[in-house]
Structure 1
Amino acid sequence: MLILAIDTSTSAITVAIHDDERVRAQASHLDPRAHTEWVAPLVETCLTSAAVTASDLTGIVVGNGPGPFTGLRVGIVTGLTMGHALGIPVHGICSLDVLAAQSAPLVDGELLVASDARRKEVYWARYAVRSGAVETLTAPAVDRPADLPDEVRALPTAGRGPGLFPELFANALPVLDVDATVLARLAVERLRDGVDMPVEPLYLRRPDALTTAERAKR
């Protein structure tokens, strides 16, 4: 098994290669508005670092988001296009699940993941960590931070939400963006367990761009 992982749902464009036992290569670049420019070079960097070619890959996993439309779409389309060209399966994992898994060593109990959704909103979901295992408690959603219940905002919180709204998220965790090495590890674990991982982009709201017909109705 040789899995390429790609996530562009957060401020980090992040790529990794996992061989079923360990991470063979990883590369990331931090820029919330340069996903298109960086994802292909980072994939090439990882292939070179791992001393493999694209034809050696047996699968690809992408972060399903949620994330801003344009950035999220870049990673998903890249993964799907490569998978089609190579004739290998492409899988998807919720990016908030990855942030929760990155936070698991720091938490024993419930935690919140709140990532930047722009428009003064956050993408969020609740999780529980028990003996290192992460359980999803709520489906991903997008809301203004002040609209979340007080007891939810008081939880240890991963993602960029606390940095953007420090007055609302007082219990910040030092986990900001998705790490493709963790995305790859989760994919390997779920493949071993036979878990279905469809690629389902979680935009959670319509893109900013409107069609001509939509603009005419306004």
Structure 2
Amino acid sequence: MLLLAFDTATPAVTAAVHDGSAVLAQTYQVDARRHGELLLPAIGRVLAEAGVDKRELTALAVGVGPGPYTGLRVGLATAAALGHALDLPVHGVCTLDAIAHQARAEGLTGPFTAATDARRKEVYWADYDAEGCRVEGPAVDRPGDLTAREVSVGAGALLYPETFPGALGPEHLSAGALADFAVTELAAGRELLAPLPLYLRRPDAQVPAAFKTVLGGKPVLPA
């Protein structure tokens, strides 16, 4: 197996190549405003560092969120385009599941919550048991509406210590963890998600419900 994985559901733009046994190369850059600019160069770097031609890839894995609309669509559109061009299967991975997998790989034990920043003073979150299996979520809520979590990871947890006391890293996801999670699940015969976005709420940008009219009766958007 040669799997290319990437995620744009958090402020981190991250990509990795996994050979079915280990991560061969990975890259990680935090810049919430440049997902579209940074992703393809990141993919090119990890392929070059791993010594893998894109035509040698056997599968793709992409983070499906939850995450903001703009960031998510960059990763998912790129995965769809590459999958079509290279005739590869494209697997979706819940970004929170991959963060949980990364946290356990870094030594976290016991039940915990993974939370990312959903903006609007909200967090995307999911709860995991001692084995790292998701038991609740993903969901989006205001931290004040949640009961306090004793053990938590992720940027969302770090932002709201009153709800997530003692929050730990990783802050954002690294694609090496996403790739390893995908490989582990596939090797165990478990299906991954479809490469479709987990928005959990409506996008910030909305098409206006009302239109102005001009001469000739043609509808135009308000200025």
The question of a shared fold, defined as TM-score above 0.5 by the shorter chain, is answered with yes
Q: In structure 2, what is the Cα distance between the partners aligned to 1:64 and 1:215?
A: 32
8 Å contact from structure 2 (residues 16, 27) kept in 1? yes
Q: In structure 2, what is the Cα distance between the partners aligned to 1:199 and 1:116?
A: 21
Q: Look at both structures and tell me which one has the larger radius of gyration over its CA atoms.
A: 2
Over the residues paired in the alignment, what is the CA RMSD in angstroms?
1.7
Q: In structure 1, what is the Cα distance between the partners aligned to 2:186 and 2:65?
A: 19
8 Å contact from structure 1 (residues 123, 140) kept in 2? yes
State the shift of 1:54 in Å.
1.0
Give the AA of the match of 2:21: E
After superposition, give the CA deviation of every residue in 1:43-95 in whole Å (9 maximum; x if it has no partner): 00011111111111110000110001100111111111100100010000100
State the shift of 1:215 in Å.
5.2
State the shift of 1:108 in Å.
2.6
Structure 2 counterpart of 1:182:
177
8 Å contact from structure 2 (residues 3, 60) kept in 1? yes
State the shift of 1:128 in Å.
1.1
* Correspondence list, 1:125-164, <5 A: 125-129=126-130, 133-149=131-147, 153-164=148-159
Single out whichever of 160-169 and 35-44 deviates more from structure 2: 160-169
8 Å contact from structure 1 (residues 65, 203) kept in 2? yes
Structure 1 counterpart of 2:164:
169
Structure 2 counterpart of 1:17:
17
Q: Which structure 2 segments of 5+ residues have no match?
A: 212-223
Q: Secondary structure at the match of 2:42?
A: helix
Structure 2 counterpart of 1:203:
199
Q: Which has the higher helix share?
A: 1
Q: Secondary structure at the match of 1:27?
A: strand
Identity across matched positions, percent: 46
Q: In structure 2, what is the Cα distance between the partners aligned to 1:203 and 1:122?
A: 12
8 Å contact from structure 2 (residues 111, 132) kept in 1? no
8 Å contact from structure 1 (residues 15, 43) kept in 2? yes
State the shift of 1:166 in Å.
2.4
8 Å contact from structure 1 (residues 13, 29) kept in 2? yes
After superposition, give the CA deviation of every residue in 1:102-159 in whole Å (9 maximum; x if it has no partner): 1224333210111000001000010012xxx31111020000000002xxx2321111
* Correspondence list, 1:84-163, <5 A: 84-104=84-104, 105-129=106-130, 133-149=131-147, 153-163=148-158
Q: In structure 2, what is the Cα distance between the partners aligned to 1:26 and 1:87?
A: 23
Q: In structure 1, what is the Cα distance between the partners aligned to 2:32 and 2:210?
A: 27
Equivalent residue in structure 2 for 1:193, among 188, 193, 217: 188
8 Å contact from structure 2 (residues 7, 62) kept in 1? yes
Distance change in 2, residues 1:70/1:2 (3 Å) = same
Is residue 43 of structure 2 the alignment partner of residue 43 of structure 1? yes
State the shift of 1:209 in Å.
1.1
- Normalised to the residue count of structure 1, the TM-score between the two structures is 0.92
